[in-house]
């Protein structure tokens, strides 16, 4: 593999490389450039040089590039699915979800080329003509994670590009191709001019030097980041020193509230999907289930049985539901947190121990609030369940979290569900569905420690364009001196 800077495939300036690893087998998939601040600077300079031409490119031309990109991705579907499995342990179900979402995202983003509209504003100056116009901001830095590599990298670049900005993308070291370099290939074939999209890769543990360059360089005018709250906070603090706006989509300790009038069979299926899709390595996964007491025993019995029966293993096997965690550190973190909870009095109803690189789907109850499992987002196939005596208790416990990304409410009474949704402190609430749900045109983002700003084609104009007030005087003004 090579990095992509200024329309050229290049090695890292320092000549170093690192191994792209398969989390299931440990095999080396390829050698990847280990870029550094110098490479990031070259990418920023290339993006800056390309901006003047790209911002003045007709919206119809931009639209055609995105539509071609969607067709290219559809043609390469099987290849991309294979890479998602190999790089990120992504199973067939989640791989299909990612491909379908991104093809739709590219098609919808093609229309964003026409979306940066302004308005005429009445002025109190006689015969004056006043306008509010939107302009692309310039170079956008995009930092994407590995977990939903295809979706989150495309989301990071699609709207900024369609709106006339140029982009430097830094993919995760765990998914340099599926979360980054694939877009250089696809958009180049689709006709994107050189320098408009640049991709810089880096070795494990070396993201910081590239991140610092992206934040500090004066030609970078916007940043978007999807990842952990800890890293997002550091980036936001640094960006604040440089007066740069960011879009942040961070962690979540997402609740699923199951009321006593919910259909238990449906609740079991929804909870399993919402908790264990992609090994629980999705920011939207249900982490805590609050179930009302009248149906709690039945729900927990059925849910524990379903959890224990979910097959785990090779993600390339279409029957696998729970594949490997992304690396050994992630596996040991899940192990340690479940172990701490059990040592503090929690009970494991299903799963609870690693199997090779996999951690089978796990259900834990009676987790003390002081445990890391209860306090922190745990990126793995582990969900906690609590029995509550009513909606108010569920609401109180859900809102105690310092996270606020997404939530789900299951009930037989839709109006009651909507009333509860309006009181949940989350950026996204799904009534009669579990927390994992997204569409390209929706305002995706959280509150509290889950970030700020909104992704989504329909809302990106607010994040990735600048408003400019322009007037045309209708007559000569008189001045006091």
Average pLDDT, the chain: 97
Is 249 among the residues known to form the active site? yes
So what's the pLDDT on residue 474?
Answer: 87
Is 283 among the residues known to form the active site? yes
What long-range pairs does 53-62 form, CB within 8 A, spacing at least 24? Answer: 53/193, 54/164, 54/165, 54/166, 54/193, 54/196, 55/135, 55/136, 55/164, 55/165, 57/164, 57/193, 59/113, 59/114, 60/113, 62/110, 62/113, 62/161, 62/162, 62/164
Tell me what the mean pLDDT of segment 6-10 comes to. 98
So what's the pLDDT on residue 115?
Answer: 87
Q: What is the pTM of this model?
A: 0.95
What would the pLDDT profile of 264-282 be if each residue is shown by its tens digit? 999 999 999 999 999 999 9
Which residue, among 182, 180, 171, has the nearest Cα to 144 in the 3D structure?
A: 171
Could you say which of 283, 285, 358, 371 is catalytic?
Answer: 283
**Which pair of tokens denotes residue 104?**
């739709």
Is the confidence at residue 116, as pLDDT, over 90? no
What would the pLDDT profile of 168-220 be if each residue is shown by its tens digit? 999 999 999 999 999 999 999 999 999 999 999 999 999 999 999 999 999 99
What would the pLDDT profile of 224-240 be if each residue is shown by its tens digit? 999 999 999 999 999 99
CA-CA-CA-CA torsion sign (283, 242, 467, 49): negative
SS3 category, 214: helix
Could you say which of 249, 292, 425, 463 is catalytic?
Answer: 249
Cα 278 from Cα 97, distance rounded (Å): 11
Is the confidence at residue 14, as pLDDT, over 90? yes
Confidence of residue 410 (pLDDT cuts 50, 70, 90): very high
So what's the pLDDT on residue 477?
Answer: 85
Which residues in 438-462 are b (16+ Cβ under 10 Å) and which e? bebbeebbbebbbbbbbbbbbbbbe
């Amino acid at each position: 593999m090579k990095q992509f800077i200024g329309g050229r495939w290049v090695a890292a300036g320092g000549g170093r490389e690192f191994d792209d690893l398969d989390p299931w087998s440990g095999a080396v998939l390829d050698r990847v450039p280990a870029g550094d601040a110098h490479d990031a600077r070259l990418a920023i300079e290339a993006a800056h040089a390309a901006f003047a031409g790209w911002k003045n490119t007709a919206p119809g031309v931009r639209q055609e590039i995105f539509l071609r990109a969607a067709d290219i991705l559809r043609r390469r579907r099987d290849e991309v699915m294979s890479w998602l499995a190999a790089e990120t342990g992504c199973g067939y179900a989640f791989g299909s979800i990612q491909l379908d979402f991104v093809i739709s995202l590219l098609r919808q983003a093609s229309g964003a080329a026409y979306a940066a509209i302004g308005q005429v504003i009445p002025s109190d100056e006689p015969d004056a003509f006043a306008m509010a116009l939107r302009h692309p901001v310039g170079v956008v830095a995009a930092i994407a994670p590995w977990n939903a590599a295809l979706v989150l990298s495309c989301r990071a670049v699609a709207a900024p590009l369609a709106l006339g900005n140029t982009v430097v993308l830094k993919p995760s070291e765990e998914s340099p191709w599926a979360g980054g370099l694939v877009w250089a290939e696809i958009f180049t074939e689709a006709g994107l001019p050189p320098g408009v999209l640049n991709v810089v890769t880096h070795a494990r543990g070396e993201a910081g030097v590239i991140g610092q360059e992206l934040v500090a360089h004066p030609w970078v005018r916007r940043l978007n980041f999807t990842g952990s709250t800890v890293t997002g906070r550091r980036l936001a603090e640094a960006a604040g020193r440089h007066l740069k706006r960011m879009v942040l989509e961070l962690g979540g300790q997402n609740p699923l509230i199951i009321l006593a009038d919910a259909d238990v069979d449906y609740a079991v299926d929804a909870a399993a999907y919402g908790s264990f899709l992609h090994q629980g390595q999705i920011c939207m996964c249900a982490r805590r289930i609050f179930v009302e007491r009248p149906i709690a025993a039945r729900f927990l019995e059925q849910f524990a049985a379903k959890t224990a029966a979910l097959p785990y293993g090779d993600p390339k096997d279409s029957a696998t539901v729970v594949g490997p965690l992304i690396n050994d550190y992630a596996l040991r973190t899940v192990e340690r947190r479940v172990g701490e909870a059990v040592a503090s009095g929690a009970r494991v109803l299903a799963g609870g121990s690693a199997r090779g690189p996999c951690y089978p789907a796990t259900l834990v109850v009676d987790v003390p609030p002081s445990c890391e499992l209860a306090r922190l987002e745990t990126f793995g196939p582990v969900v906690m369940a609590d029995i509550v005596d009513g909606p108010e208790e569920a609401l109180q416990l859900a809102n105690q979290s310092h996270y606020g990304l997404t939530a789900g409410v299951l009930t037989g009474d839709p109006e009651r569900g909507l009333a509860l949704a309006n009181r949940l402190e989350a950026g996204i609430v799904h009534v009669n569905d579990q927390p994992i749900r997204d569409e390209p045109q929706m305002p995706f983002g959280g509150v509290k420690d889950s970030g700020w700003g909104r992704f989504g084609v329909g809302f990106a104009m607010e994040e990735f364009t600048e408003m400019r007030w322009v007037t045309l005087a209708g007559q000569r003004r008189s001045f006091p001196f």
